[in-house]
Each structure stands twice: as structure tokens, then as C-alpha cells.
């Protein structure tokens, strides 16, 4: 489980400008916040609602911090 990990950064590839900002605003987690039970499911739901083509992964470091990577597959 990722509960308790602090979100160090949210990296978005394939979106820029206003679209990127709208996506960040729509996410249930922000940089600096702690992940809770259900956070991954909430992120997945928010991305699906925003754009069904977006995918994400979460990587965790030894320091207790997580990075969320969001991307749009090249079509």
C-alpha cells in the first residue's frame, strides 16, 4: 500500500499549458500531500474522467516520498 507516502512531485508528459494546469487542479492529490488508502483508485478515476487515454504510475523512493508519473500514450 502507498498510504502514508508523501507526494514529492507529479510529472505530466504529453500535456502542456492550460490543459496540464486543469489536470493538476482536478487531481485528488497534490505535491506535498500524503497518500491515503484509496488514493491510487481516486487518481485513476480522476484521470479517466479527464481523459480516458491518460495512464499513470507511482514510484517510491527510500526517503518515503512518491512521484506520480502521468502520460498520454503516443497515438
Query: What average pLDDT does the chain have?
Result: 94
pTM: predicted TM-score of the whole model, two decimal places: 0.91
Residues 6+ apart with CB under 8 A from 5: 34, 35, 60, 64, 65, 66
pLDDT digits (tens, 9 = 90+) for 36-58: 999 999 999 999 999 999 999 99
| Cα dihedral 50→41→64→16 (10° resolution) | -10
| Percentage of the chain lying above the pLDDT 90 cut | 85
pLDDT at 62 over 90: no
Segment 50-70 mean pLDDT: 94
pLDDT at 75 over 70: no
Amino acid at each position: 500500500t502507498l498510504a502514508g507516502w508523501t507526494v514529492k512531485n507529479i510529472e505530466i508528459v504529453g500535456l502542456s499549458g492550460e490543459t496540464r494546469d486543469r489536470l493538476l487542479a482536478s487531481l485528488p492529490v497534490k505535491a506535498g500531500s500524503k497518500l491515503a488508502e484509496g488514493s491510487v483508485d481516486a487518481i485513476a478515476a480522476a484521470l479517466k474522467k479527464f481523459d480516458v487515454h491518460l495512464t499513470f504510475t507511482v514510484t517510491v523512493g527510500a526517503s518515503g516520498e512518491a512521484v506520480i508519473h502521468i502520460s498520454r500514450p503516443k497515438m
